[in-house]
Structure 1
Amino acid sequence: MPVPTIASNSKSMVYDSLQLGTMGLSQDAFMYGMMGFNRLLNNGKLHNDSVIAIVDFSLPSTQKRLFVIDIKNGRLLFNTLVSHGKNTGKLNATSFSNATNSNKSSLGFYITDNTYQGEHGLSLRLQGTEKGINDNAMHRGIVMHGASYVNEDFISNQGYIGRSLGCPAIPDEIHREVIEALKGGACLFIYSANKNYIAHSKMLKQDKTLAMSTPVL
């Protein structure tokens, strides 16, 4: 049975009331993100359905481009810096790959998995949901983790934050709180205004009613 949804104007109200546009999150990133969230939710894929995380790679790495939104209560929980892969670009993320050893970021929808203690401390495994686009994430070891190279000092020194091997790395000082909010089956959407991704993503080719709705949870 489909999850109940409400009118598209309520969805726009969330975007507007949280002033996400003024913080840099593109409306396309938000609308596409909610589209995929609704699809995953209706398919019973989300076990942590109270939040959505959106990474907006249409923004440069000097901007806080990770947005963690509390869907149930209409609150912005976190807005912080996040890295892209070293072969994806320098200041801007422009090239993406699903291939092992590409050291590039992969776009699309992920479902968060379990946490573990790795070389970067507490880390969050990510399961890519889009075949041929990000479904190699587990094999590649693409995870969310903290990193000392994701901070304002790097921006001041070199004009962009440090880059990862493809992981969405976030600042050390906040990584535990973000990971705790997202672990256990939440939706993570990594967006770019990339024509190839938008044209080929099956997650973005769904019923218009679902695309223009916000879940009631």
Structure 2
Amino acid sequence: MQTRPPACSRRELLLGAMAGAIATPAIAGPGGLWRAAPGIDPGLRSRALQALARHERRIWSRDIVAIADFGLPSTAMRFHLIDLQRGRTRSFLVAHGKGSDPAHDGRLHRFSNIVGSEATSEGAYLTGRSYRGEHGAARRLIGLDRTNSNAEDRAIVIHAAGYVGPDVLDRQGKLGRSNGCFVFSMADIAEILGRLGRGRLLYAGR
């Protein structure tokens, strides 16, 4: 969990949406996502597409879509950055929340939106501003569904930590757990934050 970053003002969100509408064409469609990410679970891809359509007024940058497949164990490259313009996908390790895996067996067993649950929340997120917090560079997330509507109150963000990485898997056979945040390795965080900028969809499911 991070110290809660300052919220975006309504004016900032409106200005960002206008800029995104001018700079980024609405290229995310069923064909683009299916072609760019053939290896991702079809049901999860379908739900991500539904979320993109359902929240089209909030998600104003559609060149990159992120999907976190928490049906896979933490040993898997289960966080996917899907480049719809180039038709390519890059996949990364990502940690899930303690409350989703109480026995720490490396698998997510439940989602929760409850404040204090320390669990991962399912659903569509809008990526917000980047900032520097207690874990360094980070990006805030806004929950768009009833299943993750408390994301901001819970300070659920994207950040890095030492308990994620291939070296962690070599030592203990699974990643560490977060307080509900999407946590990446120190080696990957710059690429994640750089490519998954403001106004984009991050969809978490299984």
| Alpha-carbon offset, residue 81 of structure 1 | 0.2
Pick closer, same or farther for the CA change 1:73–1:100 going to 2, 3 Å: same
| Matching residue of 1:14 | 36
Q: Distance in 1 between matches of 2:198 and 2:134?
A: 21
How far apart are the structure 2 equivalents of 1:99 and 1:67? 26
Pick aligned residue for 1:74 from 78, 81, 87: 87
Rate the CA distance shift 1:73–1:97 in 2: closer, same or farther, 3 A: same
The 8 Å contact of residues 112 and 183 in structure 1, kept in 2 or not, is answered as: yes
Q: For residue 124 of structure 1, what is the aligned residue in structure 2?
A: 139
1:75-123 deviations in whole A, cap 9, x for unaligned?
22x3100000012112110121111111111010000010110011110
Report the CA distance between 1:5 and its aligned residue: 8.0
Matches within 5 A, 1:155-166: 155-166=169-180
Q: Distance in 1 between matches of 2:94 and 2:28?
A: 31
Shift in Å at residue 35 of structure 1? Answer: 1.9
Is the Cα contact below 8 Å between 2:100 and 2:120 reproduced in 1? Answer: yes
Distance 2:94 2:32 in 1: 28
Asked whether 1:27 is paired with 2:39, we answer no
Paired residue secondary structure (2:131) = strand
* Residue identity opposite 1:14 in structure 2: A
Residue pairs, 1:106-145, within 5 angstroms:
106-131=121-146, 133-145=147-159
Over 4 Å off, 4+ runs:
3-6, 8-11
Change (3 A) 1:158 1:167: same
Deviation track 1:100-153 (CA, whole Å, cap 9, x = no partner) reads 11111101000001011001111010000012x101000100000011110112
Percent of aligned positions with the same letter in both sequences?
A: 33
* Alignment-mate amino acid for residue 15 of structure 1: A
Letter in 1 for 2:67: I
Q: Structure 1: where are the runs of 5+ without partners?
A: 193-217
Higher RCO structure (Cα 8 Å, ≥6 apart): 1
Residue pair 1:85, 1:166 contacting (<8 A) in 2 also: yes
Task: Give TM-score, length-normalised by structure 1.
Answer: 0.76
Gaps of 5+ in 2: 1-25
Cα distance, 1:190–1:4 mapped onto 2, change above 3 Å: closer
Distance 1:185 1:27, change over 3 A: same
- Name the SS of the counterpart of 1:30 in structure 2: helix
Go from structure 1 to structure 2 and tell me whether the alpha carbon gap of 1:140 and 1:156 turns closer, same or farther (over 3 Å shift).
Answer: same
Query: What is the TM-score with the length of structure 2 in the denominator?
Result: 0.80
Measured on the aligned residues, the alpha-carbon RMSD in Å equals 1.8
Note the 1:39-188 alignment, pairs <5 A. Answer: 39-41=54-56, 44-76=57-89, 78-89=90-101, 90=104, 91-131=106-146, 133-188=147-202
The residue identity in structure 2 corresponding to 1:169 is V
Change (3 A) 1:149 1:130: same
Structure 1 Cα separation of the partners of residues 27 and 185 of structure 2? 36
Deviation for aligned residue 1:38: 2.6
